Amino acid sequence: MESLPPEKRRSGEDSLWAVVAVIGRVIRIAEIFPNRAQALRDQAWREAQVRAYASFLERTDQPAPRYMIRPIRRTDLPRRWKPLPALGFLHGNW
């Protein structure tokens, strides 16, 4: 049986799109969305925020997170998951 793309699945299914932040080997789910287009917009916004602070990150020797999107099931979210601010790593929210 062929799997349907996430955009074509029934709305009752448990599939979402996650914007994932990566620093080194640490991976955090930054935000989740019901569709890929919203996740791509959020990823672009987060990347722009990191670019805006690039010189600060270099001066303070802080690694910049990389952002990517991945499909995720609601059941795979950590129990007490909360959205990660785009620059949360600057305030110790990483």
Tell which residue, 8, 10, 27, 25, has the closest CA to residue 69.
27
**Mean per-residue pLDDT for 17-25?**
93
Whole-structure pTM value = 0.76
90 confidence band (pLDDT: 50, 70, 90): low
Spell out where 1-94 has E strands.
15-23, 26-33, 66-73
Bigger pLDDT: 37 or 86?
37
